[in-house]
Structures are given as C-alpha cells and as structure tokens.
Structure 1
Amino acid sequence: MAHHVLMVCSPAQGHINPALELAKRLVKKDLRVTFATTAHGLSRIHQAIDIVSFASYSDGFDQGFDNSIAFADYVSQFKRLGSETLAALIRNLASQGCPVTFIIYNSVVPWSADVADELGIPSALHWIQSATVFVIYWNHFRGSKSSSYLISTTNVRVTGMPLLNIEDLPSFLQPSNTNNIAVESLVELFEMLDSRRIDWVIASTFDALEKDLISAMEKENMTLLSIGPLVPSAFIDGKNPEDTTFGGDMWEKSKDYMEWLGSKPVGSVVYVSFGSLRVLSPMQARNIARALSESRHSYLWVVGSSEKALQNIEIEDSERGLVVGWCNQVELLAHPSIGCFVMHGGWNSTIESLVAGVPMVVLPEWSDQTTNAWLVERVWKCGVRAKVREDGVLEEAELKRCIELVMGGGEEGAEMKKKARELSWLAKDAWKEGGSSEINLDRLLEKIVA
C-alpha cells in the first residue's frame, strides 16, 4: 500500500507555511501528501502548489469567522466539529482508494491525535515554535498539579538554558497574561504528550541553532526531531531554484517592490513587517511611521493586517520609503539591499531572517515572541529587542535608536551582522547532504513507513 500522509493544519499563515514546506519535503521522498485546513482557510489560499493535494475540514464557519461568538465557544466548537469532519474526510479518502497511513498535526489541533487513534492511524505532533519554547512549556506544564500556571518569580531557570527574566518567557506564563484559553490549550497538549507517553515530536528548528535544548530533551526521553529551517528550496539548499514560495499565501502579493529594492544599495533598506495577525494601534503605527521617516535609511514596510491603522497617517519620502500590503517575505529577505528586519518575533519570521543572514530589531507582543526576542538579543546576539513603555507602546525615539544600532557603522551593529551571517551558514548546512535536517527527515520517513 502506498504511504499517504495527511497534514492537519490550523487556518493561520504562520501555521500553513511550515506545514506546506514539510509537505513538499515529504513529497520529494516519494510520499503522497494531503494538506487539510478549515474550509474557509482553504478558500483564502492563493496559487496553491500542485505537488500536494488540498482538502478541508470544518470549524463551523465555512464562510468566515463570526466575531460575535465568544472565543471560548469557538474553541469548543472547533474541537467538536473539527474532529467530526476530519474523521469524515479520512473515511472519504479511504473510500476513494487513498487511505491515510500517517497524520501530522500542529499544536492548535491536538484533537487530531484522538481522531487518528480512533481510526487506527499513527500520528505525530509538528511543533512550529522554537525548541526553547517547547522546553519551557515541557518543564512547566508536564505533570504540573499547580492551580496556577503563571510564573511569578523574577528569574527562571529551565533545563539546558541560561537564566531568563520573567519578561523573556512566553506571554502565556507571565503574570500579566489574561489569555486563559491559550493556557488551557497548552495544558491539554502537554498532558496529552505525557499521558500517551509520546517520546518524539517534529520540531521546526535545526540542531546547530538549539543543540543544548535538543540534548536536554533527549536526556528526558523526548526526541525533538529537528527538521528545519522550513523555507523554500531556492533560499536554503538551492536544489530547486524555482521553489521560491511556500505555496499557500492567504493574501495577494503586492507588486513592484522587488524592482524598488533593486534600485537601492546593498544593505541599505530597513524591512518592516509584524506578521499576518498583528494589528497595530493608530498610535503605534504613527510612531513607527515617524521613526522611519526621520531615520536616514530607506525602508520597505509590509503592513499586512494593520492597513487600516495607516489610512490616516501620511508616509513621507516616497522615494526613500515604500509601503505595501503583502509580500513574499523569504524572497524579500534574500535581496541584497535588505540590511535590517524590524519585526514581531514570530518564529517563522525569525527563522527566515536567520536563513537570509539579516539582523533584527524585535518588537514582541505575545505568545512565543517574547522568548524569541530574548534568543535574538541575548543568546544568538544577532539583533536587539526594542523597549516599550508600560502601556506596551513603542516610542519613535526607541525605534530610531534600535535601527541605528543595527544599521549604523558601530562595532555593536557590525557584530550583529557577523552573527547573522554565521547563523545563515549554519542554517544552510543543516540541509546539505549529510546535514542534520536532511538526516532527521530520513528518520521521520522511517517512522512514517514503519
């Protein structure tokens, strides 16, 4: 029987990209792969790649999310309907002569493992954040009997890691956290890993980047099978120069920005993007716009979901600055004119910047972004974390300081650029013949076909 992998993904761009890239890698190993997300999520994907089959399950909002529903109710409905319709999809594929033989799911849809068990199909978790964050959660949630999952101490020591300050932890563990639903979901996920005695997960990282954490988990009988960086081949191993996109964009790409970049000197452009989900407040957008306008550097700002926040803000110096809605980020970061990436600290963006060898200014907001900012500034030393006011707003003077620190000709900025280049080499080594990620992909293949 042919091996058929079903990848179950939540409908967010940052979840879709690494899942599709892993899917492409598995297809190259002669596996059949079907990618499944919600019906509405699937309807938003533009120019889907043709080497992977696409399918959908339902979260109850096939025509789009209803903002009037309480999020807790949505999460409950997502689990119930998602489980039912995912099982129906798997049965339907079997009836068509394409039975699913292995399921890979991410941390937002852990109920996929229950569906897999009910249908007698082996499965694996695809962890799409850093190994560092996995270890923090593993230490904190696994087997915990505490009535409160928040951490109140000033400094935290986690196996295999330097000392962290409280603000460096994922936001869901900080005293200021109000997102109890996220915490409950994490508790459910790590209790599931513990109760099922799951001893390996797929991790979107690479050995050389987080080797101490990966080794620490091995000592606790948990293998983080690092398969990354998960970016298109053209930018990581060069084996397929035509593979320049993930193949699942949920926004239409803007035009002409690559031509604009081509007119700028090497390393002269500040690239700004805060991902697909973050919506800037008008005040925050205004401060960023002023800082960019007053800096002496050219800039390209991809506004994404914050487009409305910029409607009443005048962007000056159109020749020096360009504002667009969406872009192919891996292609943009690889352009030689990019000298710095001002970003939110999402794991995908962090990894993509490392692959490109571009130093970062990080403005984290929530989830793992705070820990990723710590990694960038304190561990890898390839960027700086911007400091915000008590109300979370980044002032224009602070952003200008950070940009100048990275882009200026000073010793500190030069060291950041050097570290970024070194990490880029390590990232690309992982996918060379005999590289750690290439080896781990083969180890995953062995588990799938066993």
Structure 2
Amino acid sequence: MRVVLCTYGSRGDVEPLVGLAVQLRALGAEVRVCAPPDEEFGDLLDGVGVPVVPVGPSARELTAAAPPPSSFPRYAAELIAGQLDAVMGAAEGCDVLVATGMLPAAAGALSVAEKLGIRSLSVTFQQLGLPSPHHPPIAYPGRPFPPGVTDNRVLWALDAESINALFGAALNTNRAAIGLPPVDDVRGYVVGDRPWLATDPVLDPWQEPADLGVVQTGAWIRPDARPLSDGLEAFLGAGEPPVYVGFGSMPLHASKDIARVVIEAVRAQGRRALVRRGWADLDLIDDRDDCFVVGEVNQQALFGRVAAVVHHGGAGTTTAAARAGAPQVVVPQAADQPYWARRVAELGIGAAHDGSTPTVNSLSAALRTSLTPETRVRARAVAGTIRTDGAAVAAKLLRDAVTQEKPPMSA
C-alpha cells in the first residue's frame, strides 16, 4: 500500500501526520508526506524516516507576515498551485491520498487525487470545520457573521458562501489548468462524504448529524522517545515542578511583552517558570535561576513533570497536556483555540483565559484556578480516559479501505 499524506499549516497540522505515518509504516505501507518546507517539519519527518516533499512557502514566515483578509484569495491561489505542482508527482502511483491543513491547500491536494483517479480522504484535527447543527462555524477574518444570527444552520450556509467567495475562483482556476471541472461548493468538496475527525472523544465529543458520517479515530499522537536535555533535567531536579509556558506556532503579534507577563504571573504564584521559545520567540527577562528557556522539547516526557501547562490552545498541546494529567491554562489566540479553552474549563482540568492578550493579573487569576489540588486531581482522572491509539486505529482503517476496496468503517 502506498499512501501520500498532504498538509499545509502550522506544526499542529504536520505532527499528527508523523504519528499516522509511523503506524502506516508498521503495517508495511510506503508513506510520504507533503508539508511546508519549514526546517522543523523536515526534522520531525526525518526523525521517523519518512520522506517529505516540500510544498509552498514557509508556514512560519506566512504566519508571521499576518496577511490581511483582502489578500486571502491571492494566497489561496498560490497555495493551491503549490499543491498541484508538488503533490502531483508525490501522489503518482499511490493508492490513497489523505488531505488536511488549510482548506484551500486541502482542496488542491484533493484535486490532485481526483485528477489521478486515486482514492482520497479528508481529515480535520478539530470539529469546528465540520458542518453541524450542534455548533457554529468559525468566522473568517474580515467576514464576520451578521449580528444577531444564532441559528447554526444559517451560520453554516453563510460560512459556505464566505468560503466560496474567498477560495472558489482560486480553486477553479487551478482545476481548469489541469483539466478538471469547476467546483461550486468548496467546503463541501473538501469535507467530502465521510470525513475523519482525528481528535480524542473525551476532549472533543462529536454529536453526529445523520447526513455527514464522521469517523472519529482519536488523536494521532506521534510516539516520542527523545530524552530531555541535561540542562532541562538539572532545572527540573533543582526544585518544585515548574509551570510550563509555550505558545507553539502562534507569533503573538498583539502581545509584545508576553515574556515579562507570563514570567511575572508564574512568579506571583511562588512557582518557577519553564519557557518555550516557539514562534513567539519567548525568552527569559532576567538572570534569576527560577526560570529556564527551551527550544524543541519532548512534551510527552515533560508535561507529566510540570505543575501546569500555559499554552495557546492548539489541539495537539491540549491533548498532550490532558494525556499527561497536567492542569492547563489556555490563552487562545485564533481559530479553534477558544473552543479548546472552553473544553478544558468544562472538563475541570484547567482554566480558560478570557481573551488573547494576558496581563499579569489576568494570567495570575487563571493560574490560581489551575494550580488548586482539585484541578490537579481532576486532570489526573481525565488523563486516564484519553485514547492513545488514534493513529493506529486510523492506519488500520486506511489499510482495510484500500485492501477491501470499500469505504472505511467507523472506529
């Protein structure tokens, strides 16, 4: 079985594919991944021996540039064209293509599968991109929903209109270039008939509309056996468990003083701080020995040894902290992150910060909630319910779908 996994986005769009690739290779599949050319993504895939095909511009540079909404159609056209150029060669001879990541890029990858006549599958790492009467869609920047409209079905219809307006011309121009007919419903084309939801059912419970047929596999977790650095081990061993602070692939444009804010808030609780640089380039603010800064780090090895995890609310970090039983403070920045913040609060495993720009006082208040014994007990209890086999489940479903030549069944 030959599989090509395609994405464009941040680390949260790439790392789950690494987990799936590992499980597919364990089943004897030949796997390659099409992903942005950022060095950290190549390192992830090189680390598990999976070939990577670079697609499009640097995801980090595009995110840092924060293009205005008016430029979305132009960027969409470039992303789709990049998918057609790179994925066409990578997918030749494959049995199945898996598409995820930014919607226009996924549309481009799925168009390649259509052109080549191979099986394709659409996957999302958060349910808010799947139409449902049980939740509203996320409004695109620059295209807010009309005030007062609360009917989710109406909002999803408006969402489809926005997506067609932003990405329809870009997709159909590129499709015409490879001899494919136009698509009149871009979102419907990407979601498809039987989309997969690669999230944990406890953290992200899916309520099934009768007509969508979602397959929820559990989160795709990359196995990580890397040791922590000697310097980090020494810091962890020099005192009480610290509070980890990291915002992943979020550049935090609106929070220029974020390092000072988070460190002072952690110190206000009498705790040590462990700061991850990330795309926000966080760093220490002085030379006191109660803080330590790290770059790339094994969260699976680390999160079970910290007092709490302060983060942006990406699906991957939320799942990693929950799996480790670490209390969380989620400071959501964009997209689905307010949803994950809310789920953390609803489950009682941490606190949802109100808004994307914390102050020392607001973050201190959220930390006080997360650092209570009650939250710690609840976080440890929920940790025992988090599935760890999502990638293995997905790999077996893919294998069965290809070898038995029938649609993948529910997990």
2:354 aligns to what SS in structure 1? coil
Give SS of 1:365's match. Answer: coil
Distance of 1:359 and 1:136 partners within structure 2: 30
Q: In the alignment, which residue of structure 1 is the partner of 2:298?
A: 328
SS state of the match for residue 90, structure 2?
helix
Shift of 1:316: 5.5
Asked whether the 8 Å contact 2:122–2:192 carries over to 1, the reply is no
Match of 2:194 in 1: 200
List per-residue Cα deviations over 1:263-315 (Å, max 9, x = no partner).
334xx3211111123336333332223222333012211122222x64xx733
The residue correspondences of 1:178-327 to structure 2 (distance < 5 A) are 184=166, 191-192=185-186, 194=188, 198-211=192-205, 213=206, 215-217=207-209, 219-220=210-211, 222-233=212-223, 243-244=224-225, 256-265=231-240, 268-279=241-252, 281-307=255-281, 310=283, 314-315=285-286, 317-318=288-289, 320-327=290-297
User: Runs of 5+ in structure 1 lacking a partner?
Assistant: 92-98, 143-147, 160-168, 174-179, 234-242, 246-252
User: Closer, same or farther in 2 for the Cα pair 1:140/1:300, shift >3 Å?
Assistant: closer
Q: Residues 140, 83 of structure 1: CA spacing in aligned structure 2 closer, same or farther, 3 A cutoff?
A: farther
2: distance between equivalents of 1:262 and 1:81? 47
Q: Distance between the aligned counterparts of 1:104 and 1:13, measured in 2?
A: 17
* Residue number among 127, 130, 136 corresponding to 1:134 in the alignment: 130
| Residue number in structure 1 paired with 2:94 | 100
Contact 1:293 1:317 in 2 (8 A): no
- The answer for unaligned runs of 5 or more in structure 2 is 172-182, 406-411
CA–CA distance in structure 2, aligned partners of residues 256 and 79 of structure 1: 43
- Give the drift of 1:437: 7.0
Q: Distance in 2 between matches of 1:43 and 1:302?
A: 15
CA distance in 1, matches of 2:39, 2:370: 39
Distance of 2:194 and 2:383 partners within structure 1: 27
CA distance in 2, matches of 1:377, 1:190: 39
CA apart distance, 1:400: 1.4
SS in 2 for 1:46: helix
TM-score where L is the length of structure 2: 0.77
Hey, what's the Cα distance between the residues in 2 that align with 1:201 and 1:273? 31
Q: Which residue of 1 aligns with 2:361?
A: 397
Q: Name the counterpart of 1:239.
A: none
3-state SS of the aligned residue for 2:97?
strand
Measured at CA, do residues 151 and 28 of structure 1 come closer, stay the same or move farther in structure 2, by a change above 3 Å? Answer: farther
Find the aligned partners of 1:69 and 1:345 in 2 and give their Cα distance.
22
Q: How many angstroms does 1:79 deviate by?
A: 0.9
Q: Per the alignment, do residues 272 and 50 of structure 1 end up closer, same or farther by CA in structure 2, a change over 3 Å counting? A: closer
Q: 1:317 to 1:181 in 2, by over 3 A?
A: farther
- Identity among equivalent positions (%) equals 17
CA drift at 1:134? 3.2
Change in CA separation of 1:224 and 1:117 when aligned onto 2, cut-off 3 Å = same
1:152 aligns with 2:147: yes
Aligned to 1:427: 386
**Most deviating of 80-89 and 186-195:** 186-195
- Structure 2 equivalent of residue 373 of structure 1: 341
* Counterpart Cα distance in 2 of 1:285 and 1:277: 14
* SS of structure 2 residue aligned to 1:228: coil
| Matching of residue 41 in structure 1 with residue 14 in structure 2 | no
- 8 Å Cα contact 1:254-1:326 kept in structure 2: no
Distance 1:361 1:183 in 2: 36
- Does structure 2 conserve the Cα–Cα contact (< 8 Å) formed by 1:343 and 1:361? yes
How far the C-alpha of 1:232 sits from its partner, in A, is: 3.3
Question: What SS class does the counterpart of residue 85 from structure 1 fall into?
Answer: helix
Find the counterpart in structure 2 of residue 350 from structure 1: 318
CA distance in 2, matches of 1:443, 1:276: 30
SS of the residue 1:264 aligns to: coil
Cα distance in 1 between the residues matched to 2:184 and 2:13 = 19
Q: Which runs of 4+ in 1 moved over 6 A?
A: 180-183, 186-190
Q: Does the C-alpha gap of structure 1 residues 223 and 190 become closer, same or farther in structure 2, counting only changes over 3 Å?
A: farther
Measure the CA separation in 2 of the matches of 1:294 and 1:186.
50
Q: C-alpha displacement at 1:418, in angstroms?
A: 2.7
What is the CA distance between 1:140 and its match in structure 2?
Answer: 5.3
How far has the Cα of 1:197 moved from its partner? Answer: 8.4
